[in-house]
Amino acid sequence: MQMKYALRNLEKVIKLFAKKYVLLVICIVFLLIPFILRFNVMAGEDNYYNIRIAENLIKGIYYDELSYSGRELIPTLGWPVILAIFKTLLNIPYEILVTMLTFLFTALSFLIFYSLIKELDVNIILFSSLFLIISPAFLYLSTISLSVVVFLMLLTIYLLSKDYNKLSLFTFAFIPFFSISGTFVSLIIVFMYTLYIKRSKLFSKFLLVTLLASLIYLPFVYKFGLPERLTFLMHQTGIGFALKRIIFDLGGFGVATFTLLLSFLGFNILWEKKYKNIVPLITFISLIISSYFFDIAIFYLNFLVCFIASYGLINILTRKWYSGIIKKFVILIFVSGLLFSSLSFLNQFNRELPNKDIVDGLKHLKDRDGVVLSNYDRGIWINTLSGNKNVIDSNFYYAPDVNSIFENVQKLFYTRDIEISRWIFDKYNIRYIFIDNFMKNKIWEEDEEGLLFILKYSKEFQKIYSKNGVEIWEYLK
């Protein structure tokens, strides 16, 4: 009797927490945590770049004067345009505006995800939703501009599921304005979904809409051709790198390890219906492969994995166990693992660069004018936070003479030859050098290696800022 009473109470609790607005409140609470942790300083490069381009658009500037000391704007301006529109309407600080919009699109994505699964078993609804809410990839999505692409893609799928074909085409047509890679991966998902709902003929219309929307790139490509092929690699390759990208606990921002393990158990359950669920399996494999090349695929994969993982957890909860103690222990391991991944992400995100010291150092250059040299992953911060030109940044595609610049910057970092250094400084009209502890540890192994030696002993350079590991040097040419 006590067991039946406990089970009835558990069912009531599950039904309560599986309700949309209860889960939405939980979602909002978790999505707020990254913003609370980084209240004063935004993380990463994405938002800094988009804020600066949005400000340029408001001023009527359609040329990037700061990146690589001057370059053309790539036409994926959807997010900067949104920021510019809302900035004009609301006139609130960009940091707050970006936070509001990325948070909003991520929360809406959750609501669409819930709407897509709301007709399923209540346990599937609850576990899928909770897995998604606490997943590192979902929490990270709420802080970057790709949140709008994920929202548009999920909205497209939802409209297709309700037979609003024209509206789904209209929604999908906006994706090319935000992300080229997002468009490609989204086409894969649409193709798989139309196969799944046995309306594959619809895909040709999505392909046509994509081609028409992509015409915005035609004048740019006609004028500048294809981007210069990069002769340098900015990341590792191979299976190890792929696993690090896809699995959060191995160093990326992807899917939590225990969620992925549960999804494998879930696929084992779904495979009992054989070919009826072949499309989700192929979609899963396609997204795994795409995740090696495109960040956006990791976020799509996370939604699918969280959904399939709910079947895996139900399998653990309902299967017969020879020992109740072992069952509880296994459940405890999975729950602990899932929570650990979330806490690890929040800790990692809190330590994400730039930190306050880097921001303060770059703002010190606001009243100065000149080209600033640093590592490529500091370039966007230099543009936005100091308002100065950089030599190089991480937006490599269509950057002018990118291979030559990268090669010369690397040469400058590692040479002790003052003549070579002077030639490179003069060639790119460099006035300031920005270095922080993280950059120093990443590039150099010794305190007097390469450029560090020249800065220390040459009278042509003067340290004008030094605080908490951040240094700024001026080239006295």
Angle at 246 between CA 244 and CA 248, to 5 degrees: 70
DSSP assignment of 198-251 equals T-TTHHHHHHHHHHHHGGGGHHHHHHH-SPPPP-S-SS--SHHHHHHHHBGGGT
Nearest CA to 246 out of 396, 148, 135, 397 is that of 135
Q: Is 467 helix (H, G, I), strand (E, B) or coil?
A: strand
pTM of the model: 0.93
What tokens appear for 123 in the block? 């346990």
Q: What pLDDT was estimated at residue 234?
A: 62
Let me know: does 20 contact 111? Beta carbons within 8 Å: yes
Nearest CA to 296 out of 120, 467, 178 is that of 178
Q: What are the structural domains of the chain? A: 2-41+92-351 (no CATH), 356-475 (3.40.50.12610)
DSSP assignment of 46-105 equals HHHHHHHHHHHHHTT--EESSGGGSEEPPS--HHHHHHHHHHHHH---HHHHHHHHHHHH
- Class of residue 181 by CB neighbours under 10 A (exposed 0-12, middle 13-18, buried 19+): middle
Q: pLDDT by residue (tens digit) across 279-322?
A: 888 999 999 999 988 999 999 999 999 999 999 999 998 888 88
**What is the enclosing helix (H) or strand (E) of 302?**
helix 295-318
Q: Sign (positive/negative) of CA torsion 343, 345, 348, 351?
A: negative
CA distance 166 to 194: 14
Q: pLDDT by residue (tens digit) across 134-152?
A: 999 999 999 999 999 999 9
Q: What pLDDT was estimated at residue 251?
A: 67
Q: What pLDDT was estimated at residue 3?
A: 46
Mean pLDDT for each 10-residue chunk of the chain (477 residues)? 49 64 93 91 94 96 94 90 96 94 97 95 94 96 97 97 95 95 95 90 94 90 87 69 75 85 88 76 92 93 96 90 87 92 93 95 95 97 97 94 96 96 96 96 93 95 96 93
What tokens appear for 322 in the block? 């020879």
Q: Residue 48's CB: how many other CB atoms inside 10 A?
A: 22
Q: What pLDDT was estimated at residue 181?
A: 93
Q: Is 254 helix (H, G, I), strand (E, B) or coil?
A: coil
